[in-house]
Structure 1
Amino acid sequence: MLRKLTADKHTQPYRGPITITRIQPGDLLEDLSGDFAFGPLSMIDHATMKKGITIKMHEHVNDEILSYVWKGTMYHKDSTGLEVPVTPGNLMLMNAGSSFWHEEKVKHDHVEMLQIFVRPKDTDLEPLIQFHEKPESNRDWYVMVGPEGSEAPLHVRQNVYILDAHPKQGDQLEIPVYQRFQPFLYVLDGEIQVEGQSFKKLEALTDLEKPIPSITTVTDSTIVLFLVDMNAPMSMEGTISGRKGKKEQTK
């Protein structure tokens, strides 16, 4: 049976020049423990940032963070002096491990992006940073992120895959099935239908009993698929990914 996470369930811990809509994927699970994660997939921050914004140098510990820019250019700078533009065609994955410092800046156009937080398999791993150039308008699934040892171009220290697709109106897509991995499908933009149900921007879905059926796009869309090993061991020591419980209010 399909489970739907509607946009009205999300909080906005920040609103203004930086607006963050926080997707707690575990809200689909009805988990009485109070944890808002979906296995080791901790949270998804759907962020918009206006021109001129700088998020000053700050530290992450034990977070695996994929920066997925959908519109605009976000400039990454870290404590090593590395400065790299992150764009719709250039992904960035920070494996914070024991400690990683960075800042983010919007120099030109408005930015809309996802910051995806995954709980690593263990604490205080080696800090790393990875980049990958990808297609910007792939209509079928593109594997962006996978576990260490997988054929994915970017690796998290966890049993999680992250894929994206940009189907056009009327396209039909099959949802990949990975044995022992639970799907979580997020609509970043547009509208899709699954078994007659509509899912629009900021909404998500899963099926806990069987694979998600094929989807049909109502409008041109951007969708992100997470395939998660729900039983994977994980660290709860992450600066962001280790949080659980109480929802944050708008600031």
Structure 2
Amino acid sequence: MDVRRAGERYPGGDAEAGIQSWHAFSFGPHYDPGNLRFGAVIACNEERLAPGAGFDEHPHSHTEIVTWVVEGELTHRDSTGHESRVRPGDVQRLSAAAGVRHVERNDGSLPLTFVQMWLAPREPGGEPSYEIVPGIADSTPYAVPEAGAMLHVRRLAAGERTAVPDAAYVYAHVVRGEIALAGQTLGPGDSARLTDAGDLSAVAATAAELLMWEMAPADLSRAVPPAPRP
């Protein structure tokens, strides 16, 4: 298990434009050849947008983009005609495939925080697609078959235990609260990268929200590097 702390993330964004970004993986100008991906996960960004701030239209390709809103409301528009408001508890996925453009903004009056995770697809190309699952229930898995991955969302009461998926790769990200995992305590923004996980449990030290990616082995021979957000 490789634990990465919130304070170790690469800072980004544009403070004058009301954008704060924190990157768990090599991203943009923060190039780290030893931290390019884990399983299918190639980015896990925490984004904080002030009211009225956002990312203007920009392109993506060969990337499965999954967004989890922590607080506030995210406005999404893309070049395939989808427009939606994403709220806490919703799972949003944009499959960039051969290419798509989108806009992400905080059109509300309150600050917005969201976690955005990028996964590498097993096969490049294809047609872009979009999906939003409003108010996904606790313990309901969300499959991203294009990346050979499954997202598990857990909302835990203090003292509650949850199984860690038995998988080749598991990426666990703490959204809020504290989690005890394999002798380590993880707080908000912390993550754990587990290889060949088996017979493990995570225990909530406080009320907590936990995202876990269960992933099959990646086929790196077919991977296509995604275009970073400008």
Taking structure 1 as the reference length, the TM-score comes to 0.79
Residue type of the alignment partner of 1:224: L
Contact 1:97/1:125 (8 A) holds in 2: yes
The 3-state SS of whatever aligns with 1:174 is strand
The partner residue of 2:195 within 181, 185, 208 is: 208
Task: Name the residue aligned to 2:70.
Answer: 70
Q: Report the more deviating stretch, 8-17 or 215-224.
A: 8-17
Contact 2:169/2:197 (8 A) holds in 1: no
Task: Name the residue aligned to 2:142.
Answer: 144
Contact 2:68/2:89 (8 A) holds in 1: no
The aligned length equals 220
Task: Name the residue aligned to 1:134.
Answer: 135
The 3-state SS of whatever aligns with 2:141 is strand
Q: Residues 43 and 10 of structure 1: is their aligned pair in 2 closer, same or farther, counting only changes over 3 Å?
A: same
Contact 1:158/1:232 (8 A) holds in 2: no
- 1:61-80: CA deviation from partner (whole Å, max 9, x where unpaired): 11110111121110111234
Q: Residues 15 and 216 of structure 1: is their aligned pair in 2 closer, same or farther, counting only changes over 3 Å?
A: farther
Cα distance in 2 between the residues matched to 1:82 and 1:204: 31
Percent identity over the alignment is: 18
- Is 1:185 paired with 2:172? yes
Residue 19 of structure 1: how far off its partner (Å): 0.9
Residue 12 of structure 1: how far off its partner (Å): 0.8
Cα distance in 2 between the residues matched to 1:80 and 1:39: 29
Q: Residues 183 and 135 of structure 1: is their aligned pair in 2 closer, same or farther, counting only changes over 3 Å?
A: same
Cα distance in 1 between the residues matched to 2:14 and 2:7: 15
Task: Name the residue aligned to 1:118.
Answer: 119
The partner residue of 1:235 within 217, 223, 227 is: 223
Cα distance in 2 between the residues matched to 1:38 and 1:121: 14
Contact 2:173/2:192 (8 A) holds in 1: yes
Residue 15 of structure 1: how far off its partner (Å): 5.0
- For residues 26-65 of structure 1, what are the structure 2 equivalents within 5 Å? 34-65=34-65
Q: Residues 34 and 236 of structure 1: is their aligned pair in 2 closer, same or farther, counting only changes over 3 Å?
A: farther
Cα distance in 2 between the residues matched to 1:43 and 1:113: 13
Residue 158 of structure 1: how far off its partner (Å): 1.6
> Mind listing any 5+ residue stretches in structure 1 that lack a counterpart?
26-31, 148-156, 242-251
The partner residue of 1:161 within 128, 134, 150 is: 150
Task: Name the residue aligned to 2:164.
Answer: 175
Residue type of the alignment partner of 1:65: I
Instruction: Output the aligned Cα RMSD.
Output: 2.2
Contact 1:168/1:219 (8 A) holds in 2: yes
Contact 2:19/2:54 (8 A) holds in 1: no
Q: Residues 55 and 12 of structure 1: is their aligned pair in 2 closer, same or farther, counting only changes over 3 Å?
A: same
The 3-state SS of whatever aligns with 1:8 is helix
Q: Residues 89 and 184 of structure 1: is their aligned pair in 2 closer, same or farther, counting only changes over 3 Å?
A: closer
> Mind listing any 5+ residue stretches in structure 2 that lack a counterpart?
27-31
Q: Residues 218 and 52 of structure 1: is their aligned pair in 2 closer, same or farther, counting only changes over 3 Å?
A: same
Residue 101 of structure 1: how far off its partner (Å): 1.2
Cα distance in 2 between the residues matched to 1:210 and 1:131: 29
Task: Name the residue aligned to 2:29.
Answer: none
Cα distance in 2 between the residues matched to 1:112 and 1:218: 23
- 1:54-99: CA deviation from partner (whole Å, max 9, x where unpaired): 3211111111101111211101112344321011233221111111
The 3-state SS of whatever aligns with 1:205 is strand
Cα distance in 1 between the residues matched to 2:193 and 2:103: 33
Cα distance in 2 between the residues matched to 1:38 and 1:193: 21
The 3-state SS of whatever aligns with 2:200 is coil
Cα distance in 1 between the residues matched to 2:6 and 2:165: 24
